[in-house]
């Protein structure tokens, strides 16, 4: 789809140039809901993820950049969440 740009007054009509629309940037960050993350990662449960979200200010999940809020909806960056989970896992005794 090409658009014709407006030429300044006094410019001959043949001086108008067709320009291609500017492509929108492709989002590179994937975000999922709690349910989607639990379905994608079978080892995680919705309840466990929600527990992490409930305690997100205390457990460092927000500082890890894994949480995005859009109004009431909480979205999770799975790569950052799993990195956080790996760094904060409990070690077996």
| Digit-coded pLDDT (tens) for 45-92 | 999 999 999 999 899 999 999 999 999 999 999 999 999 999 987 754
What's the start-to-end Cα distance of the chain, in Å? Answer: 63
pTM for this predicted structure: 0.66
In DSSP terms, which residues pair with 68 in a beta bridge?
A: 75
- pLDDT value, residue 53: 95
Residue 85 DSSP SS3? helix
Contact call for residues 77 and 83 (beta carbons, < 8 A): no
Distance CA 64, CA 44 (A): 18
Task: Look at residue 23 and tell me whether its pLDDT is greater than 60.
Answer: yes
User: pLDDT over 70 for what percent of the chain?
Assistant: 75
For the chain, helix (H) and strand (E) counts, in that order, are: 4, 4
- pLDDT value, residue 18: 60
């Amino acid at each position: 789809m090409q658009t014709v740009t407006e030429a300044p007054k006094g410019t001959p009509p043949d001086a108008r140039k067709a320009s291609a629309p500017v492509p929108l940037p492709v989002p590179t960050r994937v975000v999922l809901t709690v349910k989607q993350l639990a379905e994608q990662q079978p080892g995680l449960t919705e309840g466990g993820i929600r527990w992490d979200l409930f305690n997100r200010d205390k457990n460092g999940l927000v500082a890890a950049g894994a949480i995005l809020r859009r109004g009431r909806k909480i979205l999770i960056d799975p790569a950052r969440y799993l990195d956080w989970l790996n760094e904060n896992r409990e070690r077996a005794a």
